[in-house]
């Protein structure tokens, strides 16, 4: 068993604990595959009433995938490694979303990217006072993936577009309101709830323990978000923000201007398509894979990782400007010769 993840049977639960807190529990390929194998094993195990997913450390449940490894292989010319990583990770995400037994996820601290993929497709999602959740992929030349596009498409109004293009971080109340989480419980009560679930397998213990979440910060901006992000055309969104007065519009515009134009344009098309077709998890992951499979050659992924994680100069040189990119974005999510299969 890897030192990065602890998988075991305990009482009536199958337990998965991420155990690399110094790396903010970033999800490696081996960790993702260990989760997948455990889910397969427990699906037919009558002794496992539920799956309990958590992580060590106070700072993060999982701050994302181990993208630096993808960069190192990609910059050396190995594109197949990243495609294999994403393909197999997405299959695991689909398994979690479609799992026949309850999965209870406890998500503290940073929950981003790959962390959303393993925590937010669970059937019962618990968050607390330190939770900070986001889909930051447009800032590194990707698109919201691991099924995150589906969650964003199902968020109220155009909140999904706002969260994707700004990479804004949600606290627990906003995560619940956006559909990324279900239950609020101050983290001092988590151990007792976990123990009760392990001992009894009784999901009613969750609702009995959890509390009403505080007010959601972004609820007050919903009408403005819906109006500004009503179109799936990036230049029109920017123009609407430029015409808007106030700190919210200024901060939103500044955030969008930092991120990859092709990633944002493709994200807008994806969310519109997922919402229009009432798609499910597999359709969302298929769209995501089409982009990520092309992201090192046609997108900004390598440059985004260089700027954010390698050189850390925070000045990426994106391939495109903030103009009309519908044709280029459509090409990034067009069918592949080798599509994702489940």
Whether residue 172 is found in the same domain as residue 304: no
- In tens, the pLDDT along 83-94 reads 999 999 999 999
The pLDDT assigned to 267 comes to: 98
CB-count exposure of residue 119 (10 Å: 0-12, 13-18, 19+): buried
- Note whether residue 152 is domain-resident: no
Does 2 have pLDDT greater than 80?
Answer: no
- Note whether residue 337 is domain-resident: no
- Note whether residue 153 is domain-resident: no
Whether residue 167 is found in the same domain as residue 284: no
Q: What is the mean pLDDT of the chain?
A: 96
Place of tokens 């990609």: 74
| From 54, 66, 89, 145, active-site residue | 145
- Note whether residue 267 is domain-resident: yes
- Note whether residue 40 is domain-resident: yes
SS3 label, residue 233: coil
- Note whether residue 149 is domain-resident: no
Q: How far is 187 from 265, CA to CA, in rounded Å? A: 38
* Among 209, 236, 268, residue at a domain's last position: 209
SS3 label, residue 135: coil
Stretch 38-58: mean pLDDT: 98
Could you give the number of structural domains in the chain? 2
The pLDDT assigned to 285 comes to: 98
The pLDDT assigned to 278 comes to: 83
Stretch 185-193: mean pLDDT: 98
Residue 188 annotated to the active site: no
Q: How far is 315 from 109, CA to CA, in rounded Å? A: 27
Number of residues that this document lists for the chain: 342
Whether residue 27 is found in the same domain as residue 175: yes
The pLDDT assigned to 222 comes to: 97
Which range of residues forms the domain containing residue 296? Answer: 218-332
Contact 42, 101 (CB under 8 A): yes
Whether residue 194 is found in the same domain as residue 231: no
| From 54, 66, 89, 137, active-site residue | 137
- Structure-block tokens of residue 3: 């030192």
Whether residue 64 is found in the same domain as residue 201: yes
The pLDDT assigned to 66 comes to: 86
- Structure-block tokens of residue 184: 């609020």
Whether residue 20 is found in the same domain as residue 82: yes
Among 256, 260, 254, residue whose Cα is nearest residue 305: 260
Whether residue 29 is found in the same domain as residue 9: yes
Please report which confidence band the pLDDT of residue 25 belongs to, taking 50, 70 and 90 as the band edges: very high
Does 157 have pLDDT greater than 60?
Answer: yes
Close Cβ partners of 327 (under 8 Å, ≥ 6 residues apart): none
- In tens, the pLDDT along 239-297 reads 999 999 999 999 999 999 999 999 999 999 999 999 998 889 999 999 999 999 999 99
SS3 label, residue 341: coil
The pLDDT assigned to 32 comes to: 97
The pLDDT assigned to 3 comes to: 86
- C-alpha 52 chain-centroid distance: 19
Does 1 have pLDDT greater than 60?
Answer: no
Whether residue 199 is found in the same domain as residue 116: yes
Stretch 179-183: mean pLDDT: 98
Stretch 46-68: mean pLDDT: 96
Whether residue 180 is found in the same domain as residue 313: no
Residue 65 annotated to the active site: yes
Please report which confidence band the pLDDT of residue 127 belongs to, taking 50, 70 and 90 as the band edges: very high
Whether residue 204 is found in the same domain as residue 306: no
User: Do the strands 103-107 and 124-127 form a parallel or antiparallel pair, or are they unpaired?
Assistant: parallel
User: Do the strands 110-112 and 132-134 form a parallel or antiparallel pair, or are they unpaired?
Assistant: parallel
Whether residue 29 is found in the same domain as residue 106: yes
The pLDDT assigned to 271 comes to: 97
Where residue 183 sits, what CATH number does that domain have? 3.90.226.10
Stretch 96-101: mean pLDDT: 98
Does 22 have pLDDT greater than 90?
Answer: yes
- Note whether residue 42 is domain-resident: yes
- Note whether residue 340 is domain-resident: no
Whether residue 305 is found in the same domain as residue 270: yes
Stretch 28-50: mean pLDDT: 97
């Amino acid at each position: 068993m890897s030192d990065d993840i602890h998988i075991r049977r305990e009482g009536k639960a199958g337990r998965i604990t991420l155990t690399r807190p110094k790396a903010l529990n970033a999800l490696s390929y081996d960790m993702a595959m260990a989760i997948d194998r455990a889910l397969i094993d427990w699906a037919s195990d009558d002794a496992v009433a539920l799956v309990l997913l958590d992580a060590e450390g106070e700072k993060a449940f999982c701050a994302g995938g181990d993208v630096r490894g993808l960069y190192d292989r990609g910059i050396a010319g190995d594109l197949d490694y990243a495609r294999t990583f994403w393909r197999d990770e997405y299959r695991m995400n689909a398994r979690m979303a479609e799992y026949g037994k309850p999965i209870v996820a406890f998500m503290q601290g940073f929950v981003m990217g790959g962390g959303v993929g393993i925590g937010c497709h669970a059937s019962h999602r618990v968050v607390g006072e330190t939770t900070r959740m986001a889909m930051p992929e447009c800032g590194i030349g990707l698109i919201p993936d691991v099924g995150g596009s589906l969650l964003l498409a199902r968020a109220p109004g155009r909140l999904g577009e706002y969260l994707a293009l700004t990479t804004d971080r949600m606290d627990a109340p906003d995560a619940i309101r956006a559909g990324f989480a279900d239950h609020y419980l101050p983290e001092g009560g988590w151990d007792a709830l976990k123990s009760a679930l392990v001992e009894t397998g009784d999901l009613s213990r969750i609702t009995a323990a959890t509390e009403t979440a505080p007010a959601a910060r972004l609820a007050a901006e919903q009408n403005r978000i819906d109006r500004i992000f009503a179109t799936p055309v990036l230049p029109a969104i920017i123009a609407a923000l430029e015409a808007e007065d106030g700190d919210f519009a200024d901060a939103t515009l500044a955030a969008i201007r930092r991120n990859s134009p092709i990633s944002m344009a493709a994200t807008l098309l994806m969310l519109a398509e997922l919402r229009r077709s009432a798609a499910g998890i597999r359709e969302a992951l298929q769209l995501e894979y089409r982009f990520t499979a092309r992201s090192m050659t046609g997108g900004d992924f390598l440059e985004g990782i260089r700027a954010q994680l390698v050189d850390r100069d925070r000045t990426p040189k994106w391939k495109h400007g903030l103009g009309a990119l519908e044709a280029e974005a459509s090409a990034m999510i067009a069918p592949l010769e080798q599509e994702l299969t489940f």
